[in-house]
Amino acid sequence: KAGVTQTPRYLIKTRGQQVTLSCSPISGHRSVSWYQQTPGQGLQFLFEYFSETQRNKGNFPGRFSGRQFSNSRSEMNVSTLELGDSALYLCASSLGAVQETQYFGPGTRLLVL
Amino acid sequence: AQSVTQLGSHVSVSEGALVLLRCNYSSSVPPYLFWYVQYPNQGLQLLLKYTSAATLVKGINGFEAEFKKSETSFHLTKPSAHMRDAAEYFCAVSDLGRALTFGSGTRLQVQP
């Protein structure tokens, strides 16, 4: 089975722009979660989607948004980019139950200049 | 709310020595606990998870962890370190909302 894939792997943007990141989950997985990893804040939960509905949300500003499609693929969007948004954005997929393992993709590294 | 504390941001061991990475958690509900490993420029790979079936959990690459409720700990161990174990290790707890709360990570260095 193919793992979680994320595109693009690297991205450079400038302040004020917006960006869209994509995540394709493992086949059969219906839950997709997004995490932000930075040296200062570590790994932080952004949001989770299950069956096209946002099921859980972390403590991030409204500039961060996401969606999930009927094939479980997910996108996250960050509008009005700030320098502090530079990070590794990780996507994880799972079957969706509480105890289910989340399998992570390789991440998208975003640099905001 | 749950939280995870990893003691020691950097741990250095000699090849062949015991690896011990510490993790303490706080959770208001019975926790699901995980250890993940991250190699440079990669995502997170699951090492093992605790879901209340057994207190001693065996994972991949020779790692294991023991859940101790009285100590609220879930320390990761490996009897004999190998050079390929050099990486960053994250302990995480999952709440009923399924979001993972991660510790700050421990970077393991293995000396030849």
Reply yes or no on whether the pLDDT at A17 is more than 90: yes
Indicate the pLDDT class of residue B97, thresholds 50, 70 and 90.
low
Which of B100, B102, B104 to mutate to probe the A interface, most A CBs <10 Å? B100
Beta-carbon separation of B104 and A42 below 8 A: yes
For an interface test with A, give the residue of B47, B98, B100, B104 to mutate (most A CBs within 10 A). B98
Is A99 a residue whose pLDDT tops 80? no
Give yes or no for a cis peptide into A8 (omega within 30° of 0): yes
The answer to whether the Cα torsion of A49, A53, A56, A62 is positive or negative is positive
Q: Which residues of A touch B104 (CB under 8 A)?
A: 42
- Reported as a single tens digit per residue, the pLDDT across A47-73 is 999 999 999 999 999 999 999 999 999
Closest CA to A98 of B93, B85, B45: B93
H or E element in which residue A75 lies:
strand A74-78
Locate the chain B residue with the closest alpha carbon to A90.
Answer: B43
Closest of B2, B25, B21, B24 to residue B11, by C-alpha: B21
pLDDT digit string, tens, across residues A25-40: 999 999 999 999 999 9
List Cβ neighbours of B79 (8 Å cut-off, separation of 6 or more): B18, B62
- Residue B82 main-chain phi, psi, to 5 deg: -125, 155
Report the alpha-carbon distance of residue B73 to residue B85 in Å, rounded. Answer: 22
For residues B41-58, one letter each, b for 16 or more C-beta atoms within 10 angstroms of the residue's C-beta and e for the rest, the string is: eebbbbbbbbbeeeeebe
Read off the pLDDT of each residue in A5-20 and give the average, rounded to a whole number: 97
CB B98 to CB A106 under 8 A?
no
Decide if A33 contacts B99 (C-beta within 8 A).
yes
Angstrom distance (rounded) from CA A23 to CA A77:
12
- CB-nearest partner of A101 from B46, B90, B102: B46
A27–chain B nearest CA distance, Å: 18
